[in-house]
Amino acid sequence: NAGVMQNPRHLVRRRGQEARLRCSPMKGHSHVYWYRQLPEEGLKFMVYLQKENIIDESGMPKERFSAEFPKEGPSILRIQQVVRGDSAAYFCASSPISGIEQYFGPGTRLTVT
Amino acid sequence: QQQVKQSPQSLIVQKGGISIINCAYENTAFDYFPWYQQFPGKGPALLIAIRPDVSEKKEGRFTISFNKSAKQFSLHIMDSQPGDSATYFCAASKGYSTLTFGKGTMLLVSP
């Protein structure tokens, strides 16, 4: 059973470009969580989604950030007009039902130049 | 507002020693407390977790101690090995919800 998959693993964008991060949850998991990790910091919650629904986006900046988890395909975290402060590792986690342990992917390391 | 405070920031332990990492939380509604282990360049991996209805949980060399009245919980790694060298994060959540993480402890186990 494959684990949580994220791609790309590394992403370099210039300021003002768009970044798209993809997360494929574990088979049978329908809940996806996105977290951001800054250097020397713990993970900060961004958004929690179920298939076709955003359950909690309280940790996601209101501007430039959006997330989706369509009926078919991976969950996508989209960052428009990236700035240097967006440079971080972005992790997604999945769980089969809300409250069961969250399993994390390997992360996408975004560098904004 | 940091809802989960973790200490120490870094820790060096000799092989065979006991590693102890502490966390304190503020939100009394938290009812699920996992510990994650993260190696460089990898995602966090769930190590062990506890709910507040028990004061201790042990899995192999890893033990969580939980003090509900003090709002504190800790991870003990017995017989620490060089392969345990990693960053450890405590976390907490309320019900079936998102995780609030501590800032992490970088553990180095010297041979």
Tell me the per-residue pLDDT of B41-63, one tens digit each, with 9 for 90 and over.
899 999 999 998 899 999 999 99
Interchain CB distance below 8 Å, B99 and A42: no
For chain A, what percent of residues have pLDDT higher than 90? 80
Close Cβ partners of B31 (under 8 Å, ≥ 6 residues apart):
B51, B52, B93, B94, B95
Between A41 and A7, name the one with better pLDDT.
A7
pLDDT-based confidence at residue B2 (cuts at 50, 70, 90): low
Interchain CB distance below 8 Å, B98 and A59: yes
Interchain CB distance below 8 Å, A44 and B101: yes
B111: nearest Cα among B20, B39, B37, B16: B16
pLDDT at A77: 98
Query: How far is A22 from chain B, CA to nearest CA, in Å?
Result: 15
pLDDT at A100 over 80: no
pLDDT at B98: 86
Interchain CB distance below 8 Å, A48 and B43: no
Phi then psi for residue A84, to 5 deg, are: -60, -35
Write out chain B residues lying below 8 Å of A36, CB-based. Answer: none
Write out chain B residues lying below 8 Å of A56, CB-based. Answer: 97-98
Give Cα A111 distance to the centre of its chain: 15
pLDDT at B22: 98
pLDDT-based confidence at residue B1 (cuts at 50, 70, 90): low
Residue of chain B nearest A107, judged by CA positions:
B43
Interchain CB distance below 8 Å, B97 and A101: no
Query: How far is A105 from chain B, CA to nearest CA, in Å?
Result: 6
Provide the mean pLDDT of chain A.
Answer: 93
Query: How far is A96 from chain B, CA to nearest CA, in Å?
Result: 12
Phi then psi for residue B56, to 5 deg, are: -155, 145
Average of pLDDT values for B2-11? Answer: 92
CB B85 within 8 A of CB B2: no
Task: Dump pLDDT digits (tens) for A44-94.
Answer: 999 999 989 999 999 999 999 999 999 999 999 999 999 999 999 999 999
B103: nearest Cα among B6, B2, B3: B6
pLDDT-based confidence at residue B95 (cuts at 50, 70, 90): confident
